[in-house]
Amino acid sequence: MTMLSFLSNKMLTSSGGPVLPQASFRIADDPINQSQLDHVTALMQVGQHRKAFVQLQPLVKADPMNPSLLEAVSDCYWLMGTTGQSMVVLNTIADIWPDNVAVWGKLGARNLALGDKPAAETAFERMLALAPDSALALAALNLIKTFAPNSKRAQKLHILAADTSLSFEERAGVINALGQIESAAGNTKEAFCYFQQAKDATPGEYAPNEIDAKVADQCRAFDPKTMPEVASECAEPRFAFVVGLPRSGTTLLTAMLSRHARVVSNGESPSLIDTKLALKQIVQQDFPSTGHWQWCQHASPSLLAAARQTFRKKNLPESVEHLSVVVEKLPQNAFEMGFARMMLPDAKFIFMARHPLDVGLSLFTNGFATGHAYTKNLEWIGHMIRASYASLEDYQPKLGDRLRIQSYRALVQSPEPQMKEITNHLGLDWDQSCLSPQHSEDALKTASVLQVREGINQKGIGKWKRYETELAPLIEALGGWHWIRAWEEKDAA
């Protein structure tokens, strides 16, 4: 979860994960309404957004001036993808209760997700006016426009960085903001010190040996020629998995694809991993196994068919008449392409490949409130990059033409010919709208939102060069310049 996602969660918006925090304020004391509202929140937590919305309607009719109910309505609209209606309701709440800090924070976070930086800035300024010591508001404003090193707001961040009463997310966000300020000023060494402090303030441990074992088990045990799979149905819409390391361009490609008239995106959905874990638990009741892949040999076609049916029911939108492809974008799915191949033999895969030093730099300099523990130091980042490519190299011959490796560099330098190849890979006709991801009406909830809203550009190429000295541990962990140059040669080809 990036700092942007954490801001969104704090302001009660979905960050693509399964958990929706409780409403930020409650005025009504009616215990029946409170119980019903808690039930609605529980429905949203498990993805039953429309059912939650239906149950909200009589509650709002009976108590139309209850801000908790109105906030839940806004959340339902947001989670259903009706972002315009969500923002109308949220702005109404802000108009009626202008002194509520959390409402302005939520407005800011959601406007950021929609790419409206001026509106987001206004909302966070209102939040800061109400709560001058708000670490979240200051970090968000710095994200929109980096503070000058000697500004009053930068000085305030320094004070907050020493505040032991802050949560670890808030403190890590403040320290990361100080790193961004020093980086923008050209002080790379000082910036990296702050970035490391921000990582140190974030809990989590990475186990390289576990990742190595998982990849080794994949290489040894996954073989589509011997693994069970369901029969191909060629049912539309089909699923496409956009995978790759975080910060490799997966958000950009998904935004470009989502502009296609026959494509919809589910965002960073954990559904594939959840489905795999659920099926694994069922199989292991009769065939105990400690490996990552051995259990799959006992997943019968009928079980896989049931898993596919459940997966499709959960991940297909209500109306699919105009759709050909549903995009699932989650970096961790890069390791799960083999399982997706078993369950969804018609699925296609696109692995985004961006320069490993640009990816590593971005992973280290962006704050992740929870998850992605490997980003806590450069050596771990290097290990994860190498492990991801080891998994990819094993999957290439096994997945065949289902898998496309897409160069980030090629995509931003030659977007039209690259996107024509990508749409052809997914069985889609060409749609010129794919070249304008900045006009997407979808809410983007990853750290890449501000970059994507700038449209297709080459700003993300070669950023690592000004940090080469500071990136020495990453370079070594990747295997030195020999491995990096070999990667560059493959990417150029």
Q: Whole-angstrom Cα distance, residue 471 to residue 220?
A: 33
pLDDT at 29: 45
> 305-328: string of b/e by CB count within 10 Å (b at 16+)?
eebbebbbeebbeeeeeebbbbbb
Q: Is 486 within a domain? A: yes
Q: pLDDT value at position 362?
A: 96
Mean pLDDT score of the chain, rounded to an integer?
88
pLDDT at 20 over 50: no
Residue 444: the pLDDT is 54
One domain for residues 160 and 245:
no
Asked whether residue 26 is assigned to any structural domain, the reply reads no
Are both 134 and 262 inside the same structural domain?
no
pLDDT value, residue 447: 54
> Are residues 195 and 242 both part of a single domain?
no
For residue 318, the model assigns a pLDDT of: 74
Residues 136 and 170 in one domain: no
Handedness of CA 223, 227, 233, 235 (dihedral sign): negative
Distances, alpha carbon 4 to alpha carbons 106, 158, 227, 246, in Å = 12, 20, 40, 14
Q: Are residues 150 and 127 in the same domain?
A: no
pLDDT band, very low/low/confident/very high, at 192 (cuts 50, 70, 90): very high
* Residue 208 resides in a domain: no
pLDDT of residue 378: 97
State the pLDDT at residue 452. Answer: 60
**What integer is the mean pLDDT of 377-385?**
97
Q: List the one residue out of 253, 236, 255, 259 whose CA is nearest residue 422.
A: 253
Higher pLDDT, 3 or 475: 475
What's the rounded Cα separation, in Å, for the pair 424 and 428? 6
Tokens 């209850």 appear where? 66
> Could you give the angle at the alpha carbon of 234 between the alpha carbons of 230 and 239, nearest 5°?
85
**Residue 192 sits in the same domain as residue 245:** no
Residue 403 and residue 368 share a domain:
yes
Query: What pLDDT is stored for residue 136 in this prediction?
Result: 93
| Structural domains in the chain (count) | 3
**Residue 155 belongs to some domain of the structure:** yes
3-state secondary structure of 12: coil
In CATH, what number is assigned to the domain containing residue 313?
A: 3.40.50.300
The residue with greater pLDDT, 443 or 25, is 443
Question: Can you give the pLDDT at residue 451?
Answer: 64
Tell me whether residue 450 is in a domain.
yes
pLDDT value at position 125?
Answer: 97
* pLDDT at residue number 485: 98
* Angle made by CA atoms 258, 362, 348, in degrees to the nearest 5: 35
State the first-to-last Cα distance of the chain, in angstroms, to the nearest integer: 33
Domain range for 71 is 1-12+35-141
Q: Render pLDDT for 139-179 as a digit per residue (tens, 0 to 9).
A: 999 999 999 999 999 999 999 999 999 998 999 999 999 99
CB atoms within 10 A of CB 416: 12
What is d(CA 285, CA 281) in angstroms, rounded to the nearest whole number? 7
Q: What is the pLDDT of residue 487?
A: 98
Whether residue 374 is predicted with pLDDT greater than 60 in this model: the reply is yes
Which residue stretches of 297-377 are H helix?
A: 301-315, 337-343, 356-365
- What's the 3-state SS for 202-243? CCCCCCHHHHHHHHHHHHHHCCCCCCCCCCCCCCCCEEEEEE
Give the H/E segment covering residue 45: helix 31-45
Average confidence (pLDDT) over 70-89: 91
Window from 67-81, 170-184, 222-236, 244-258 with minimum mean pLDDT: 222-236
Highest mean pLDDT pick, 98-112, 290-304, 309-323: 98-112
| pLDDT above 80 (res 17) | no
Tens digit of pLDDT for each residue in 419-459? Answer: 999 999 999 999 999 999 877 666 555 555 566 667 788 88
Q: Is 169 helix (H, G, I), strand (E, B) or coil?
A: helix
